[in-house]
Amino acid sequence: MKYLIVGLGNIGAEYADTRHNIGFMVADEMARQAGATFSTLRHAYYTEYKHRGSNVHLIKPTTYMNLSGKAVNFWMHELKIPIERVLVIVDDLAIPFGKVRLRPKGSAAGHNGLRSIEALCGGQNYPRLRFGIGDNFPKGRQVDYVLSGFDDDELLQLPELIERAVQMVHSFVHIGLELTMTQFNK
């Protein structure tokens, strides 16, 4: 079986450790654990590795967040992977920091990366791993918040949460969406 795992984020040093780049951070940790290195290919940083007999194709789109769908669409077709075996790792303002949720589908909820994927990849019916970043920002300051770094308390918890996200992705690849949701979405 082949899977396409997509960590959403923005390229460039100014975005590196921001809340909006948590998808990149999880993808980086997956690659590190697998001993895989990213190559710059069409529309994405790309790597692949085997996990329990399955082929994991991992991308970090280089199209910037708002055009993520371009990269996802290209790699889905290039690798011939159906949408149900594509998992998008995304930051989520609606979930408190410290929570990570796997969902089989859903709306973009104002997230431009998800909106782009929805538009170019055929709708909302694709799994996503929603990494809670909380919504601790004043009215009208959402962009500043998602493009800012994690605070000191959050930084202490981040490695454990990223590891949990990696485990959830590998569980999705190994035992599927439903069983992974049952095991992790407590």
**Per-domain residue ranges of the chain:** 2-184
- Is residue 186 over pLDDT 80? no
Q: Read off the pLDDT of residues 59-102 as tens digits, 9 standing for 90 and up.
A: 999 999 999 999 999 999 999 999 999 999 999 999 999 999 99
**In this predicted structure, what is the pLDDT of residue 15?**
95
- Residue 121, pLDDT above cutoff 80: yes
Round to whole Å and give the CA distance between 161 and 46. Answer: 23
Residue 111 appears among annotated catalytic residues: no
Query: Active site residue: 20, 43, 57, 111, which one?
Result: 20
Considering the domain 2-184 in this protein, what is its CATH number? Answer: 3.40.50.1470
Task: Name the token pair of 144.
Answer: 């500043």
Q: Comparing 184 with 141, which gets the higher pLDDT?
A: 184
Q: Are 169 and 181 in contact (CB under 8 A)?
A: no
**Rounded alpha-carbon distances, angstroms, from residue 170 to 4, 34, 63, 173:** 12, 11, 25, 5
Tracing tokens 């082929």 back to the chain, one arrives at 55
Q: What is the pLDDT of residue 84?
A: 93
**Residue 126 binned pLDDT confidence (cut-offs 50, 70, 90):** very high
Question: What average pLDDT does range 164-180 have in this prediction?
Answer: 97
Please determine, for residue 111, whether its predicted confidence score (pLDDT) is greater than 80. yes
Task: Encode pLDDT of 20-63 as tens digits.
Answer: 999 999 999 999 999 999 999 999 999 999 999 999 999 999 99
Question: Which candidate, 87, 82, 86, 84, places its Cα nearest to that of 100?
Answer: 87
Q: How confident is the model at residue 141 (pLDDT cuts 50, 70, 90)?
A: confident
Q: Residue 175 pLDDT > 90, yes or no?
A: yes
For the chain, the average pLDDT equals 95
Contact 85, 5 (CB under 8 A): no
For residue 56, what are the contacts with CB-CB under 8 A and spacing of at least 6? Answer: 3, 5, 30, 34, 48, 49, 50, 173
* pLDDT number for residue 139: 87
